[in-house]
Amino acid sequence: MSIFFYCLAYAAVIAFVAIAAMRIMGYLKKPQHLRWELYPVAHESAERVEYGGSYLEKVDWWKDKYHSSIVGALKGFLEEALFLKATWEHNRPLWWRTYPFHVGLYLLLGGMGMTVLAAFGKMAGFEGFVIFCTCVTVFCNVVGFGGVLFGAVGLIQRRLCDAGLRKYTSNEHFFNLGLFGVYALLGLVLCLGYSAWDFALMGNAFIYGMLTFTAMDVAPLYALYLLIGFFMFFWVPYSFLGHLFMKYFTWHDIRWGDEPFISSNKLQNQLANNLNLPVSWRASHIKGDGVKTWAQIATEKQD
Amino acid sequence: MKSSQELTFKHVSSEDGQLCTLDVNKLRPMPVEYETYEWKPISDAQKDQYCCLLDDINVLLIPTPKTIAEEEEMVNRFLEGVRKLFTPENNWTCLAMLDTTMDYCAQCNSCSNACHLYEMSGEHEMYRPNFRSELFRRIYKQYVKKEPLAKWRYGDIDLNWKTVVRLAEMAYRCNLCRRCAQVCPIGIDNGLIARELRKLFSQEFGWSPRELHEKGTQLQLQVGSSTGMNSSVVQETVEFIDEDYVESTGYEFKTPWDVPNADILLIHNAGEMLAWPDNIAAFSLIFEAAGLSWTLSSEIAGYDSVNYGVFYDDVQAARVAIKHAQAAKKLGVKKIVIGECGHAHKALTVIADRILPKDLNIPRESCFPLLRDIVLGGRLKLDPSRNNFPVTLHDPCNLVRLMGVVKPQRDVLHAIAPMFREMTPHGVENYCCGGGSGFAIMTRNNINEWRMNITGRKKMEQIANAFSDCLDPSIKKYVCAPCSNCKGQIRELLQENNLLEKNGMQYGGLVELIVNAMTEVEPGFIKWEEE
Ligand code: SF4
Ligand code: SF4
């Protein structure tokens, strides 16, 4: 039984990495898209970010080197990731529910990271480090479960009671929120049942077992908790919850993607390829036959 | 018909006849005297001939299918179009944005309140930014992507010909202002979905508003301008404008045409030449007074910066952008400067940037930084006291939110308009004028009523609020709208409601204000009477 659990655990980790990689690669493999930026663009100069300006505000802008501030981009991204700034500004009632939910998830992820570190510490024989990691895990688990449970219940309530939101809430939303809610509830019950410290040690032992390929017995309730966790490893990257990592592209590559053609050879090559793609749109002003290229269609003489 | 509260996705395919209507008498009152525009009834003949199935407005005039086979053909062709929309070959331009918008929306509805159509329609479900997107998303996932358990996960949608024609019409209940996208926490873009749908229906079915296609891009590609003016007519027109304004301003200037190797090719929205010749004259006057090396082009499309393709069709957008670049290349100019037209700015600087091949990628810039440098650089003799009246600034979405050109026009206004005041909100958070995405040039089939009642309502409210301290008609005030389409829409808002007479509100571009302040020009360039 415990071997089976460990196999599932490996499968869950592999599924997460594989599905996330597939989605990211799927995005990166797409042809270079048109510029579709929205201002403010966070990697502009601080002064321009303040009011939403761009390098296009300068005469002969192409004579300057294209500049993209990593610090600015990071600041813009962290503000959104850590504080859910857009939701705070534009959907406050939701923020009070979704913020604890997201912070709870971040903490649980952090707790998981600490559990992995503790397992490495144990392998290396650093007892003090293991204790430190376990202390952090206890904090992350308790606050994380609390946040996720509060957020999940709050979001379900909001989706049920807000008439506008209700129409847009599908079975999948309830399923997702229910899943996270049950997971967090089980986590809290286990923390109460075994003590938060012992619960963290169970996590340490499980991950240690995974890293050293030594299966250990798993209590039934803990097994259920793990099963839900494994499923989420597969489900998060598969479903719309994948925005967890795809948001990097929607913000960084699309919303802030202002790099001009003139400054990048790579862009120039990609765009040259695009113009050679075949078109098959059927309308009479295009008459794409799947052979004629964009370049040909865009330059052919009109009837 | 379904009320806003009743309306759900299922009704889009299940209901016969017109799906919903808006009670225009319940719209939010305005801070100034403003008319209510009752919907004109749709005649039985029209209902018979065309699919009038969504609301009181009919942008596309899609012929009603007469047989079951025709209905099925519509659905099949739609599905074929959706499939193409998701192939890199047919939609390399937007596939990345489309795919992420399809897959990662959290349905949080944070975008709803950002949309002026949703707000000013009294939060009608039909005009919620996400209504159209989510309907399309569910269809895509169930019928094209065929996701496992899609019906259970997202809700079952019946796809029939009514769904198709309603979706097509819904694509034209959006100004493509992308204010909704700006507030989205995930980076999902409902404006993009409206445009992708417009593309699908234009590129696959050939369904598009005639103002944008036949009388828009097609006419421009064939004749040279969507106004219908060919090269010789346009040169004559500008010659007349020069003569008129030399006489009225007392300032000698002549607009140069086809000057080889000039520094600047200036491309106007040719609509200005017919509707607002003062804008054309003001540009010529400023550029001549500043001593620039510049020219207009008489090449096909080289004298009309309009590119309606950006509103509905990627192929047409590419064709027009290429014509613009070819005109510049032929003359050997150093750069293209785009006159006061927001969508032309975005089309030629931002969108065309990833369409034009290297040999045609001639540098292109907005006129506003140049005007700022001319004004602040002291290249004109200006007396700001000539503009001593309240001025507010409308921010064209294409120029500001979608291009980040925010400050130059404000620098000019701060220098020449002592009573300049901002609207709330402004800059990148501005609201669309209501004419965006092509509506400014459409009036038929209740589109005018749609613009006056709904799409332009927020802008009108903003304008009135910006002037709330001086609504008295004796105080002349100026709405600076540096974009042809926005100006067209604001003209309708003000003129249809007689607001020049009632509240002293006039509108115009930025260059007109600059010339109005030039001491070498006879005072009174801006006229305060209805022309
Ligand atoms: S588009 Fe963005 S803001 Fe609107 S519902 Fe989707 S995730 Fe929320
Ligand atoms: S793009 Fe503008 S008009 Fe269209 S849905 Fe979004 S906010 Fe509304």
Q: What are the pLDDT digits (tens) for B299-328?
A: 999 999 999 999 999 999 999 999 999 999
For chain A, give the percent of residues with pLDDT over 70. Answer: 99
Instruction: Write out the H or E segment, with its range, that includes residue B505.
Output: strand B505-508
Per-residue pLDDT tens for B58-96? 999 999 999 999 999 999 999 999 999 999 999 999 999
C-beta pairs of B234-239 under 8 Å, 24+ apart in sequence: B234/B270, B234/B273, B234/B298, B234/B303, B234/B304, B235/B298, B237/B273, B237/B274, B238/B273, B238/B280, B238/B296
Q: Which residues contact A296 (CB under 8 A, 6 or more apart)?
A: none
Q: Is the CB of B170 under 6 A from ligand 2?
A: no
Mean pLDDT in chain B?
Answer: 96
**Rg (alpha carbons) of chain A, rounded to whole number:** 25
Query: According to the model, what pLDDT value does residue A216 have?
Result: 80
Residue B107 CB less than 6 A away from ligand 1: yes
Q: pLDDT tens, B150-207?
A: 999 999 999 999 999 999 999 999 999 999 999 999 999 999 999 999 999 999 999 9
Arithmetic mean of pLDDT, A160-187: 96
Extract the tokens encoding B32. Answer: 């100034």
| pLDDT, tens digit, 9 for 90 and up, residues B137-152 | 999 999 999 999 999 9
Confidence of residue B248 (pLDDT cuts 50, 70, 90): very high
Cα separation, B509 vs B285, whole angstroms: 14
B471, HSE (Cβ side, Cα atoms, 13 Å): 11
- CB pair distance less than 8 Å for B134 and A168: yes
Q: Which residues make beta-bridge pairs with B68? A: none
**DSSP helix/strand/coil, A120:** helix
Nearest to A257 by CA among B399, B87, B353: B353
Is the Cβ pair B154, A172 closer than 8 Å? Answer: yes
For the Cβ of B101 lying below 6 angstroms from any atom of ligand 2, the answer is: no
Which of A94, A283, A288 lies at the smallest CB-CB distance from B202? A283
* pLDDT higher than threshold 60 for residue A212: yes
CB-CB neighbours of B148 under 10 Å: 7
**What CA dihedral angle connects B428, B433, B436 and B439, to 10 degrees?**
170
What proportion of chain A, given as a percentage, has pLDDT over 90? 89
Confidence of residue B427 (pLDDT cuts 50, 70, 90): very high
Q: What is the CA radius of gyration of chain B?
A: 23
- pLDDT tens across A254-267, in order? 999 999 988 888 88
Q: How far apart are CA A280 and CA B227, in angstroms?
A: 30
Residue A104's pLDDT is 97
Mean pLDDT, range B444-461, rounded to an integer: 96
Judge residue B14's burial from the number of C-beta atoms within 10 Å of its C-beta, 0-12 exposed, 13-18 middle, 19 or more buried. Answer: middle
- Looking at residue B420, what is its pLDDT? 98
pLDDT at B530: 59
Q: What is the reported pLDDT for A300?
A: 86
The letter for the amino acid at B110 is S
Write out chain A residues lying below 8 Å of B186, CB-based.
243, 247, 250
**Token representation of residue B288:** 């001549």
Query: What is the reported pLDDT for A303?
Result: 64
Exposed e or buried b for every residue in A242-252, given b needs 16+ CB within 10 A? bbbebbebbbb
| Residues B73, B74, B79, B83, Cα dihedral to 10° | 100
- What is the pLDDT, as a whole number, of residue B529? 76
Residue whose C-alpha is closest to residue B198's, from B302, B300, B315: B315
pLDDT digits (tens, 9 = 90+) for B112-143: 999 999 999 999 999 999 999 999 999 999 99
Atom 7 (ligand 2): residue with closest C-alpha?
B115
Mean pLDDT of chain A: 94
How does DSSP classify residue A255? I
pLDDT band at A1 (very low <50, low <70, confident <90, very high): low
Cβ within 8 Å, pair A280-B84: yes
Supply the pTM of this predicted model: 0.96
B177 touches ligand 2 (CB under 6 Å): yes
| Domains with residue ranges and CATH for chain A | 2-255 (1.20.950.20), 265-299 (no CATH)
Q: How far apart are CA B207 and CA B121, in angstroms?
A: 26
Measure CA A96 to chain center: 20
- Here the tokens at position B421 are 């005041």
Taking CA–CA distances from A87, the nearest residue in chain B reads B185
Residue B511 — very low, low, confident or very high, per pLDDT cuts 50/70/90?
A: very high
Residue-level pLDDT at B60 = 96
DSSP per residue, B404-451: ---HHHHHHHHHH-TTEE--SS-GGG----S-GGGGGG--TTTHHHHI
Mutate to test the pocket of ligand 1, among B103, B107, B179, B182 (most ligand atoms within 8 A of CB): B107
Instruction: Give the whole-angstrom CA distance, residue B471 versus residue A241.
Output: 51
